[in-house]
Amino acid sequence: MDKTRYDRRQRKAPAEKQRRTVRRRGAFLRAVDLPEALERRLPLVRLCGDARMEVENCSGVLELGGERIRLYTGLGILRIEGKNLRILAAFGGEIQVEGRISGLEYEK
C-alpha cells in the first residue's frame, strides 16, 4: 500500500513543479516590470517605417509570398500585406520581415 501511495505522488510531482515554476516566472516578470507580452506570450510587433518589421513570440509561418505573409501568434493569425515581402531571419520565436509593408491585420 505504501508503494502505491508513493507512485501516485511521483506522478503528480512534475505537474505541480511546473505550476510552481510558471507562478514564479510570472511573479518575477511583474517584479522586474517587463512587458506583459513576455509574461503572456503575446506577440510583440515592431515596425520600422514601411520597410521592415520584427515579430516576437511567433509560433510559425502559415503562408509566405511576395505580397502576403501570415504568421501564427498567441492572438491569432497575423497577416502582413505589401510588396516584395520576404523573411530575413527566423529564430527563437522571432521573425524579421523586409519589403514594402502596406498593412497588418489579425485574423481571429
The amino acid at residue 44 is L
pLDDT digits (tens, 9 = 90+) for 20-48: 555 565 666 566 655 555 556 788 899 99
Cα distance between the two ends of the chain: 51
What is the pLDDT, as a whole number, of residue 51?
95
Q: At 58, list the grid cell.
A: 511567433
Instruction: Determine the Cα–Cα distance for residues 84 and 61; give it in Å rounded to an integer.
Output: 17
Q: State residue 108's pLDDT score.
A: 75
CA dihedral 91, 65, 106, 30 (to 10 degrees): 10
